[in-house]
Structure 1
């Protein structure tokens, strides 16, 4: 018998349920945290992120290079030079409304150059080709490209033929910091991003509860613990131990992410073309939103973990645990979709259902924190979710006693006395 099991057996008469849960939580937390498997678990998600970042960087570079649209010019030398000069004069004011012009070298070498045949043969890298003269320019290309560049080509031709440079008037603009519509749109984006991050972290980390229980059921450690202390305390201790381990993992990933951001912030902003320094703020403010995010992640983890513990109590083998956990995982995905769908329907009956259903409640309430300033509703929601954590733990422990211990409380007490007797016989005589 291990030293931890012996200590639990000897100390159990003097421990309350909370104290026993603390003993289990401390034991599991230390055991998981200093295991080699946890180190590989921390490193595992970093490789997909690294590969995804590299792939996104390369893809962004390719997209930027492919996004440069060139329009070929197949006109007389004088007209071609005048058109390009007009384009350069208009570009500072019109920007992307005027195309990048490139002279078609094949047209200069071929007096009988046919722009239509050239485009149909898919030669060169031109979106369209301008032929004809400045007084009667012709745009050759697909229907969409012709419709897009017909107006700019006519404008450049007019500028090229003008006796004096064409003056495009500059309009005056007045900007506001935000509008009601833009503020709500930004907050919806924040709510969606927060829900997605919380869902991914929950699904990634909650599996540790299931694997830990399956391992201890296989080597009979869980039966020793159940015989020594109340099963409610065992389940609750395991849940909070895995929650603590999850926070350690999130802290490690967050630190590495912050370091990577500090090193490559400019490159990331350049690739994504998004100003990350001005993230859309939630309605309750960033400090309160982060606090609520931690609390709702804890509730989502505890609820899903308690459900996984209940599955582990009903399963007899590791294969059964894996098979039975799949429907729960799919159900959690549907729950996430429900919470995400109700973001745009505040106050509706469907949102109330998402808030009342315990597994979707953390996600729905986190979205509400991003959209509404009211805080008192979160206190009630957190209390409601904690009640369901306790109920799921109670249900899981009852199933375990009936499924594994076979004989309820009486059998548990009998096995507890038997284990203590065997432990006392194993102690060396003085």
Structure 2
């Protein structure tokens, strides 16, 4: 066991150093940043455009007295309920009021979404379906308030703030649970694929066979898996630093996630642990696939069903977020491929900690099972033997400072 761990450490250190100091890894780090930056900029611009588009202007083509009362009622209510809760209104000139509503709407210089005519007793709203369905209720309310000036003096509402409410807290924690599940899934799928590509590349270059002849195959798989995990944490650290920098520039514009049931420090720690387990489970599965595949085409053929199955597992974990304690949620917590996602959602909603210890032990055991199966498949498909033979002769050069190769 000690020899296997020591050999796995050497293999992992070799892979980690080779990947971290390569040009491909640098561009790999930059890859996700460009979509995030472009998406963030597009979101800000799109939000501003949407806010501008979502404020249609209604032209008021009533008599001068009715228009004055209507606009006064709108100004009074806007001060009490908020400007954006009421439609934007623009009083038209008397000459324009005598024109047909259809002509006013066709005039691009006005830029009006609808025309409000008639009287306060019988208002007529002319426009397309969208503005009419959106604002006919508000128009009727404004006309009623304009007729009765006393009704505009709304009674003051006494407010009493509380720190928490059971219903609101539950809904908010669901948001935290789902957001964390999505983040874990995206990071796992983005980073776990490098395990597969690395193994296939070394199989094509015959490097993996040299390693298998020098050290136990279990150590090779274990070292590669944890080297990729360390690489994943380096990538996450870089992306997190950039994300925190952008968040500090955005300030209060970013939404804040509700506090999970176990508290933020423990929840972040559990999130790291469950990402590790999800990565190890999927990575060990990809190692097994790489052991069976001889070419890149075979890798793509074999990995596609696994990727689709993992997507289904993620959907199952998301579905069980609102099913705490039900059989389907317990199944998701026990099933190894959904367990990390289901358990991190449980941590956001339930403060009990002992189930997480059992879940992590079970997930780690499943990782070892998949690794053993992958080693067995590699020996049968690549080494063409029941066990990976190690060279006993100590003469010659050392491999990575561990085992001496003959000659």
The two structures have a TM-score, normalised by structure 1, of 0.86
Q: Aligned partners of 1:384, 1:98: CA distance in 2, in Å?
A: 56
SS of the counterpart of 1:174?
coil
Range that drifts further, 71-80 or 24-33: 71-80
> Could you tell me which of 68, 83, 86 is aligned with 2:55?
68
Range that drifts further, 381-390 or 167-176: 167-176
User: Could you say if the C-alpha distance between residues 122 and 181 of structure 1 is closer, same or farther in structure 2, counting changes exceeding 3 Å?
Assistant: farther
User: Could you say if the C-alpha distance between residues 261 and 400 of structure 1 is closer, same or farther in structure 2, counting changes exceeding 3 Å?
Assistant: same
The corresponding residue for 1:4 is none
Larger helix proportion, structure 1 or 2? 1
Q: Aligned partners of 2:107, 2:395: CA distance in 1, in Å?
A: 88
Range that drifts further, 225-234 or 418-427: 418-427
The corresponding residue for 1:400 is 378
The corresponding residue for 2:124 is 138
The corresponding residue for 1:290 is 268
User: Could you say if the C-alpha distance between residues 151 and 342 of structure 1 is closer, same or farther in structure 2, counting changes exceeding 3 Å?
Assistant: same
Displacement after TM superposition at 1:407 (Å): 1.7
The corresponding residue for 1:387 is 365
2:291–2:381 Cα contact (<8 Å) kept: yes
The corresponding residue for 1:55 is 42
> Could you tell me which of 352, 355, 359 is aligned with 1:374?
352
The corresponding residue for 2:140 is 151
The corresponding residue for 1:42 is 29
User: Could you say if the C-alpha distance between residues 174 and 422 of structure 1 is closer, same or farther in structure 2, counting changes exceeding 3 Å?
Assistant: closer
Q: Aligned partners of 1:312, 1:151: CA distance in 2, in Å?
A: 68
Q: Aligned partners of 2:167, 2:97: CA distance in 1, in Å?
A: 57
Displacement after TM superposition at 1:109 (Å): 2.6
The corresponding residue for 2:281 is 303
User: Could you say if the C-alpha distance between residues 18 and 97 of structure 1 is closer, same or farther in structure 2, counting changes exceeding 3 Å?
Assistant: closer
Q: Aligned partners of 2:365, 2:304: CA distance in 1, in Å?
A: 25
Displacement after TM superposition at 1:265 (Å): 2.2
The corresponding residue for 1:104 is 92
Q: Aligned partners of 1:284, 1:66: CA distance in 2, in Å?
A: 42
Deviations 1:39-76 (A, max 9, x none): 11001111111111111111101011112132211123
1:72–1:104 Cα contact (<8 Å) kept: yes
Displacement after TM superposition at 1:385 (Å): 0.4
Range that drifts further, 201-210 or 313-322: 313-322
Q: Aligned partners of 1:140, 1:31: CA distance in 2, in Å?
A: 69
Deviations 1:306-353 (A, max 9, x none): 000000101111221122111111110001011111111111111122
> Could you tell me which of 200, 209, 214 is aligned with 1:214?
200
Displacement after TM superposition at 1:421 (Å): 7.2
> Could you tell me which of 146, 159, 177 is aligned with 1:173?
159
- 1:85 is aligned to 2:72: yes
Superposed CA RMSD in Å reads 2.5
2:145–2:152 Cα contact (<8 Å) kept: no
- 1:243 is aligned to 2:221: no
Deviations 1:150-199 (A, max 9, x none): 4223234215xx5x895222222223232111111111111100000000
Residues 168-207 of structure 1: matches in 2 within 5 Å?
168-207=154-193
Q: Structure 1: give runs of 5+ residues left out of the alignment.
A: 1-13
The number of aligned residues is: 398
Displacement after TM superposition at 1:132 (Å): 2.8
User: Could you say if the C-alpha distance between residues 111 and 42 of structure 1 is closer, same or farther in structure 2, counting changes exceeding 3 Å?
Assistant: closer
The corresponding residue for 2:318 is 340
Displacement after TM superposition at 1:425 (Å): 8.9
Q: Aligned partners of 1:407, 1:23: CA distance in 2, in Å?
A: 25
- 1:234 is aligned to 2:213: no
Range that drifts further, 352-361 or 135-144: 135-144
User: Could you say if the C-alpha distance between residues 165 and 15 of structure 1 is closer, same or farther in structure 2, counting changes exceeding 3 Å?
Assistant: closer
> Could you tell me which of 416, 420, 423 is aligned with 2:391?
416
SS of the counterpart of 1:16?
helix
